[in-house]
Each structure stands twice: as C-alpha cells, then as structure tokens.
C-alpha cells in the first residue's frame, strides 16, 4: 500500500471552477453550458499565453487556482491522449502534402504543456509528463509516490480535452475539457492510500472515462474511495484508515 498526503487540490472545467460547482454538477444540479475553458491567465506574459490552447489553458488554470504561491515544485503532468485536436490537424496536413507547422509540431508533443508551464512559472525542478492512455490517474499517483521519496512536495496535474469525432469509435473521453491540480506532501495533509486489490468487478476500457468524475467526487469527500483499472489490475484509492 502506498500512502499519500494531499495538501491542496483544484479542478477546472467549463463553468465549473469551485468545489460547489463540481458538487452541483456531480449531483445533476448544474450543467456544463459550453465546451471552452477561459481561465484567467493574465499572470502569464501575453506572447507565451498565446501558445496555450484548450489543453494548456486547463492545466494552467487549475494550477493557478491552488491556494499557494510556491510554484517551484517537482511536477507530474498526466494526460490520457494529449492534444489530439492539434495532432490530428498536423496529420491532416501531412495527408494533404502540406508543410507541417514547426510551431504546431512543437506544441503537439506530450510534454509541451509542462514545458510552457515551467517557462511561465520559472520552475526549474524536475517535470515528468505521462501518457498512460487508460489508467493515467493511477499511473500519475504512482509517479507522485516515487517523487515523494526524494522531494517534500510534488505538484500533480491531470488534464485532457475531448477526442475529435474521428477517434470516437476507438476510445471514449469526457465530452468537455478538464484539469485537476493537486499538491502532495510527504508528511502533511489529507491522508489517502493507493493499493492494488483483488476484484472480479472488471469493467471495460470504455467505462474508464468515469474514473475522473468518481475521483473528483472522492476529492470532494462525497465518496470514500475510487476503483480504477490499470493494465488489467484493479487499484483502490481510499481515505487512509483512521487508527484509534
């Protein structure tokens, strides 16, 4: 079992910016009225801000909403598919024998968002970018646990945008962009556990899209735990058991 201490967290989606917003959405009392993120990134220099698309805006917006000023932390950035919208446009250019945009290519690589973040926040700490397809939540937390062996605090960001329609037969994603930022501490904060468990309740990969809403419900304290699938194994994320 891996023990983690959650110091702070923030989640962002279109029209969902506070814990109250997320709680209402999870219980069906609030709708997501559009599919565009528009966080306040005025602290980012304008020329750099222009390089952030929806994927990057979500990540930066969620990080900016964290209740702390120290940005110089080692980081784990995890996205299931990365910027598929931009990647698809580059592939379409190649298919049409057009020149690929050097800027577009540089922003389509999986660590582009984390790189832009490091420039914007002058973060010189180690940054890991994860692409784990199905199971990126557990993969990110495992990486955080490893980073906490040598660092006191780690910033973790989960972020994604909807897949373009052409990919819909092959994978399911949430129908809106989202980002979750979390700061984990080696010793202080809300204690949670991560462990692999035996389970016969395996669900298909197509249902793993619901792990993120379930995890946000857990962060809100509305549920006691989350079950996730990674490489065919079931993992449990739970409140750390209280010892009397």
Tens of pLDDT, residue by residue over 180-213, are 999 999 988 999 999 998 876 655 554 566 889 9
| Low-confidence residues of the chain: pLDDT under 50 | 206, 243-244
186's CB contacts (< 8 A; 6+ apart) are: 5, 148, 151, 152, 153
Q: Which residue has the tokens 């052409």?
A: 166
Asked if 198 and 234 count as a contact pair (C-beta separation under 8 A), the reply is yes
CATH 3.40.47.10 corresponds to the domain 2-190:
yes
d(Cα 212, Cα 228) in Å, to the nearest integer? 10
Q: Quick one: tokens of 127?
A: 């940054």
Which alpha helices (DSSP H) does 41-181 contain, by range? 46-49, 54-64, 84-95, 102-108, 112-120, 136-147
Identify the pLDDT of residue 243.
47
Identify the pLDDT of residue 114.
93
d(Cα 107, Cα 13) in Å, to the nearest integer? 21
What is the tens place of the pLDDT at every residue in 92-120? 999 999 988 888 888 889 899 999 999 99
- Read off φ and ψ for residue 201, nearest 5 degrees: -95, 55
- Closest-CA residue to 232 (of 135, 144, 136): 135
Identify the pLDDT of residue 200.
64
Identify the pLDDT of residue 244.
41
Q: Determine if residue 15 is left, alpha or beta; phi over 0 gives left, psi from -120 to 50 gives alpha, anything else beta.
A: left
Identify the pLDDT of residue 208.
63
Give kind and range of the element (H or E) at residue 225.
strand 225-230
């Amino acid at each position: 079992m891996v023990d983690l201490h959650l110091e702070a967290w923030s989640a962002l989606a279109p029209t969902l910016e506070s814990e109250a917003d997320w709680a209402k959405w999870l219980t069906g009392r609030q709708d997501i009225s559009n599919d565009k993120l528009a966080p306040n990134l005025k602290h980012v220099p304008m020329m750099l801000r222009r390089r952030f698309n929806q994927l990057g805006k979500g990540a930066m917006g969620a990080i900016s909403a964290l209740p702390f000023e120290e940005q110089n932390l080692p980081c784990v950035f995890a996205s299931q598919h990365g910027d598929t919208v931009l990647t698809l446009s580059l592939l379409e250019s190649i298919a049409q024998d057009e020149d690929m945009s050097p800027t577009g290519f540089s922003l389509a690589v999986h660590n582009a968002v984390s790189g832009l973040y490091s420039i914007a926040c002058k973060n010189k700490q180690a940054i890991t970018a994860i692409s784990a397809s199905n199971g990126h939540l557990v993969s990110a937390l495992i990486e955080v646990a490893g980073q906490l062996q040598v660092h006191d605090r780690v910033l973790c960001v989960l972020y994604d945008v909807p897949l373009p329609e052409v990919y819909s037969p092959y994978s399911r994603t949430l129908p809106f962009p989202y980002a979750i930022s979390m700061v984990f501490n080696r010793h202080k904060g809300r204690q949670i556990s991560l462990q692999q468990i035996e389970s016969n309740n395996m669900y298909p990969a197509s249902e793993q899209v619901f792990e993120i809403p379930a995890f946000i419900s857990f962060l809100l304290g509305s549920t006691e735990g989350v079950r996730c699938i990674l490489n065919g194994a079931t993992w449990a994320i739970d409140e750390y058991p209280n010892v009397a």
